[in-house]
Amino acid sequence: MKITFSDLAIPKTGAVIAFATEGADLMPSAVALDEATGGAITKAIKASTFKGKSGQSLQVLAPANVDLSRVIIFGIGKEAEFDVIAAQKLGGSVTARALSTGEKELSVLFDMENLACDFATGAMLRDYRFDKYRTTETKEDKPVLKAFDIATRDHKDAKKQFESAKKVVEGVFFTRDLVSEPANILYPESFAKEVSALEKLGVEIDVLDEKEMKKLGMGALLGVAMGSARKPAMVVMRWNGGKKKDAPIAFVGKGVTFDTGGISIKPAAGMEDMKWDMGGAGVVSGLMKALAGRKAKCNVVAVLGLVENMPSSTAQRPGDVVTSMSGQTIEVINTDAEGRLVLCDALTYVQEKYDPRLIVDLATLTGAVIIALGHENAGLFSNNDDLATQITTAGLSVDEGVWRLPLSPAYDKQLKSDIADMKNVGGRPAGSITAAQFLKRFITKDRPWAHLDIAAMAWSTADKEVVPKGGTGFGVRLLDRFVADNYES
């Protein structure tokens, strides 16, 4: 869908969206539209239950005195409470409604010009659709909306703002595409090829193969990959947008392109969802696309640990001991706790190779975090209060919530092994916390570090205002804002 901006004026033809505040008070442009239709909107409001509350809408088909096909009035609630997040959600709601009308073009009379970019951002986010494998869908089932014009004052400024915001949304879409792909299409090698497209934006990319990882001693990551015919890979991406002397910010993503659980195999029901166990790597990839797309003024290094976790005669077994790149040994109690084994070697690699100023890792790591937080927030763990606050604040600003959970040496006893430096699981109690406590053991020099467990947030089973059902892209906008607000020169 093409989104454009224009002067605030009532169009002569087509479908039009306008707005009312709580109490069914029409916004100024809606008042002008009502006058042009001979009061058709006011009459419709009086004959309905429409009160202008957020989420309410009212449609007037083929109103008199004009050549418009339809007018839809959306409620925005209390004007004083209409902010950035509300504008984005409204843009998504308007798009969702417009997609069901059969209209090819839509004009929006938007009086709140300072929020026009945010409205457009929400509209674009909601327009996403992953349909590359649909071959028998009827024409009637396909959305036909192609053009979305936002008429507002200072439209040139809104257009300029949106050019940058659009790059971030494109990063979200890249993540959604990756997460949506089936595992027979997206596996470590093909994932690396998909990411290589970012080189066109100026991202430097290296791919480490199995032989190189063996030489580096990545026994934890390679142990996960042992059961699969698909060879593992580690993708390293660098965006050099800051000063040459500045140490980079590091992002690390878990990329298990399919997770059967290995020998500790998962139940069959719902296993198809495990195609998105590479969600952390997907978010990091989308973030790099966003940062490079908008030419972020900072240095960033990103590492993706890409493996497939399969059961076979060559798969690692419960009870095996592996040696991580850091030299620490791990007793593998449960082969379905594989993400932390992938991440620990990726964390060691990025620290030894690039000595970053801070690290944020992302992973669909534990089911326990879903039990703790539901599907409303990602779990946040950090060894640094300032870093945790920065991430939390960034999440609030883009409506991607995180909730900080504790780290404490008290949990370490659950990871104690009788034969190695640690076990890879600590049992059912505090499962997401002990997973984070495991990762913390691989952070050196008291380096600021945060771990985001996005298991509950990478995929949605229902449509939301700015997120269609499916891959969400959660984390791309959050971390882009985190970088923009705190680390750009």
Active centre residues (catalytic): 266, 340
| 476 neighbors 170 (Cβ within 8 angstroms) | no
228-232: list long-range contacts, CB under 8 Å, 24+ apart. Answer: 228/307, 228/308, 228/309, 228/310, 228/312, 229/310, 230/187, 230/188, 230/189, 230/257, 230/307, 230/308, 230/310, 231/188, 231/189, 232/188, 232/305, 232/306, 232/307, 232/308
Q: What is the dihedral sign for C-alpha 17, 18, 22, 25?
A: negative
300 token code pair: 């960033």
469 token code pair: 């059902």
Residue type, 308: E
Classify each residue of 277-289 as buried b or exposed e, where b means 16 or more C-beta atoms within 10 Å of its C-beta.
Answer: bbbbbbbbbbbbb
C-alpha 222: how far from its chain's center?
A: 27
Residue type, 25: D
| 202 neighbors 239 (Cβ within 8 angstroms) | yes
Cα 285 from Cα 318, distance rounded (Å) = 32
Cα dist from 227 to 188, 190, 223, whole Å: 14, 18, 8
Cα 133 from Cα 459, distance rounded (Å) = 19
Query: 3-state DSSP call for residue 404?
Result: strand
Question: Per-residue DSSP letters for 257-281?
Answer: EEE--TTSPPPSTTGGGGGGGGHHH
64 token code pair: 């008199």
Start-to-end Cα distance in the chain: 34
Which of 246, 254, 248, 258 is CA-nearest to residue 204?
248
The DSSP code for 48 is S
Q: Which residue has the tokens 């992938």?
A: 342
248 token code pair: 């980079």
CB atoms under 10 Å from CB of 376, counted, come to 9
CB atoms under 10 Å from CB of 244, counted, come to 6
| 316 neighbors 265 (Cβ within 8 angstroms) | no
